[in-house]
Amino acid sequence: MSRRAAYDGVVAAVPITIPYERYSIQTAHWWIGRALAETISRAGIRKRDIDGLCVSSFTLGPDTAVGLTQHLGMSPRWLDHIPMGGATGVVALRRAARAVQAGDADIVACVAGDTNGPDSFRALVAGFSRFAADATYPYGAAGPNGSFAILTDAYMRRYGATREDFGRICVAQRQNALSFPHALMKRKLTMEEYLAARMVSSPVALFDCVMPCAGAEAFLVMRDDTAASLGLASARVLSTIERHNAFPEDPIQLRGGWAQDMPELYAMAGITPAGIDLLQTYDDYPVIVMMQFEDLGFCAKGEGPDFVRSHDLTLAGDFPHNTSGGQLSVGQAGAAGGYLGMTEALRQITGAPLGPQVANARTALVSGFGMINYDRGLCSGAAILQAA
């Protein structure tokens, strides 16, 4: 059905996570620089071997990827800057893979990093987008908490989800985080604690929200022979999808762009959802995780609540999901939050996890979601990766 070319011969490798900090006095440049240095060191290459650079950050301003090249002393022949929030990891992979495949670049470093100060998040939210500043922030100024609370409320009414259903996702991810060394939230979370938590923006309570923090994530995209010559474990890109402002006619967002592109995602990869060994969703709120279960084909629309009731989402469970603990437990390092699932999936399927290894993990689905421009997230994307 698809006329799209496969990503033959392209791999992703060297997943890097720079441990997050709640607040940092350093800049985004500093965090991105650290991630690049770590990537180079782990790949055993020189800085000038990186001839493609793809950057994502909310706090790099007024610089973009362009200014960063001079700051870091790099001369890439291919450069991209992706402002897609939680979808940046998937989209960066897509862009970089095609560049490498076409020979526009040999080694692309994909990197996302952000800093975080005590007032950074509020300031980011207040000026997030024109529509948000005009028509969301002035209404209670609850930021994404408020936006997702409204979606959560509508989802609960429509499909009968309960807070406990969302709690299952959060509790399982916290369980995963307990063995992920870089997670900021290291205390076990019980369902009782989840349900009793302070209401932030009803029905969203404390443990439904991510903790904004500073951090950076990176990975490399190159040809499979390059990876082999460098002796790097890597993963092939089986398929990807990307969609923006999907279903604008939906009065409220109860599905994401994945629902539109899911058939192509699996067709291109030549597998079905049953062939996915582990899933990394974008998880700034549990409601959007539930929608990804549905829209990525793991259950039908509206069956998300049943799905979480009938599956064990932990590392050792029957449906390993957000195995690092996800942003809900590791923290949300700005745009790097859109990379967390990608680096974690790469680590798991290349056999280099930071915590426990998911058993028999060869094929991973990473999905991204980002940019509450106004009343809904506009960017969605997904990629299926397989151990090379």
Partner 1 sequence: MSPPLPPRRKADPLALPRQALMPQGGRSRAALGLAAMAAQGRFALQICAACGAAQYPPRDVCHECLGTELPWRDVPTGAALLGETTVHLSGDTYFRVRTPWRTGLVALDCGPSAVAHVHPDVAPAGRARMSLRLDRSGQGVLLALPERDSPNMMDDPMIREMTCDPRGRRILVTDGRSAFGQEAARSLLAAGAAQVFLGIADGWKPFKGQDNLPGDAVQLDLTDATSVSELAAEFGGRIDIVVNTALHIRPGGPLDRRDLVSAREEMEVAYFGPLRLAQALGPTLRARAADGPYGACAWVNIHGIDALAPAPGFALTAAAQAAGLSLSQSLRTSLAPIRVLTAFVGPLEDEWHQAIPPPKVTPTALAAAIVRGLREGLEEITVGDIAMDVMRRWRDNPSTLARERAG
- CA–CA dist 6, 94 (Å, integer): 11
Edge-to-edge strand ranges of the sheet holding 107-114: 78-81, 52-56, 107-114, 214-223, 10-21, 234-244, 377-387, 363-372, 278-280
Q: How far is the CB of 248 from partner 1 (least distance, A)?
A: 7
Total chain residues near partner 1 (CB under 8 A): 40
Cβ proximity to partner 1, 201 vs 363, nearer residue:
201
Let me know: does 379 contact 369? Beta carbons within 8 Å: yes
Site for partner 1 in 291-320 (CB under 8 A): none
By the rule CB under 8 A, 60 interacts with partner 1: no
Binding mask 118-157 for partner 1 (x = CB under 8 A): ---xx--xxx--xx-xxxxxxxxxxx-xx--xxxxxxx-x
- CA–CA dist 71, 135 (Å, integer): 36
Q: How far is the CB of 374 from partner 1 (least distance, A)?
A: 6
Query: Which H or E run includes 156?
Result: helix 143-159
Computed on alpha carbons and rounded to an integer, the radius of gyration of the chain in Å comes to 19
| Phi (first) and psi of residue 94, to 5 degrees | -55, -50
Burial (0-12, 13-18, 19+ Cβ within 10 Å), 54: buried
Cβ proximity to partner 1, 96 vs 204, nearer residue:
204
By the rule CB under 8 A, 117 interacts with partner 1: no
68 Cβ contact list (under 8 Å, min separation 6): 29, 32, 53, 55, 60, 74
By the rule CB under 8 A, 361 interacts with partner 1: no
Q: How far is the CB of 134 from partner 1 (least distance, A)?
A: 4
Cβ proximity to partner 1, 86 vs 146, nearer residue:
146
Structure token pair of residue 53: 């650079």
Binding mask 157-176 for partner 1 (x = CB under 8 A): x-------------------
Of 71, 18, 102, 14, nearest to 334 (Cα)?
18
Q: How far is the CB of 132 from partner 1 (least distance, A)?
A: 9
Q: How far is the CB of 328 from partner 1 (least distance, A)?
A: 17
Cβ proximity to partner 1, 203 vs 368, nearer residue:
203
User: Which of 219-227, 245-253, 332-340, 378-386 is the region at the interface with partner 1 (rule: CB under 8 A)?
Assistant: 245-253
- CA–CA dist 164, 166 (Å, integer): 5
Cα atoms in the Cβ-side hemisphere of radius 13 Å centred on 160: 7
By the rule CB under 8 A, 3 interacts with partner 1: no
Q: How far is the CB of 250 from partner 1 (least distance, A)?
A: 9
Cβ proximity to partner 1, 33 vs 167, nearer residue:
167
Of 45, 47, 50, nearest to 99 (Cα)?
50
| Phi (first) and psi of residue 385, to 5 degrees | -120, 150
Q: How far is the CB of 8 from partner 1 (least distance, A)?
A: 38
Cβ proximity to partner 1, 135 vs 196, nearer residue:
135
User: 212: which DSSP letter?
Assistant: B
Chain CA centroid to CA 327, Å: 8
- CA–CA dist 55, 180 (Å, integer): 25
**Which of 62, 103, 231, 251 is in the footprint of partner 1 by CB under 8 A?**
251
By the rule CB under 8 A, 252 interacts with partner 1: yes
Let me know: does 151 contact 286? Beta carbons within 8 Å: no
Let me know: does 182 contact 20? Beta carbons within 8 Å: yes
Q: How far is the CB of 112 from partner 1 (least distance, A)?
A: 23
Q: How far is the CB of 208 from partner 1 (least distance, A)?
A: 12
Binding mask 194-223 for partner 1 (x = CB under 8 A): ----xxxxxxx-------------------
By the rule CB under 8 A, 332 interacts with partner 1: no
Q: How far is the CB of 212 from partner 1 (least distance, A)?
A: 10
Task: Write out the residues near partner 1 by the rule CB under 8 A.
Answer: 121-122, 125-127, 130-131, 133-143, 145-146, 149-155, 157, 198-204, 248, 251-252, 374-375
